[in-house]
Amino acid sequence: MSSLYLNSRTWTVFDPGNAEHRQYYYDFINTNTWGRCPVRFVLPDRQGDLVSMIRRSLIDWYVVTEFKDTNKRTRKKVA
């Protein structure tokens, strides 16, 4: 096995619920490079490019997080 493979960053799937992963993406947006990121993100199921997949997953996560209690609310009936 190559020493380059052994010394490389660990591979992981981006998890929008993980605060460290969100911080890594934020750092990427500010620096426009993944060079300082301690992990390498992989694309599950051939979802296109990495940045678009992360953006989609973050949007979904934030929307679900913000609006998760709206289903519990009930409307008052007007008499």
Give pLDDT, residue 28. 97
* Short-list 39, 46, 10, 6, CA closest to 23: 39
Give pLDDT, residue 72. 61
Whole-structure pTM value = 0.75
Give pLDDT, residue 69. 73
> Looking at the domain assignment, is residue 60 inside a domain?
yes
* 75, pLDDT greater than 60: no
> Looking at the domain assignment, is residue 79 inside a domain?
no
Beta bridge partners of 40: 11
Give pLDDT, residue 16. 96
How does 44-71 read in b/e, with b if 16+ C-beta sit within 10 Å? eeeeeebeebbeebeeeeeeeeeeeeee
Segment 31-66, tens digit of pLDDT: 999 999 999 999 887 778 999 999 999 999 999 998
Range of the domain at 45: 3-67
Give pLDDT, residue 78. 60
Domain count, the chain: 1
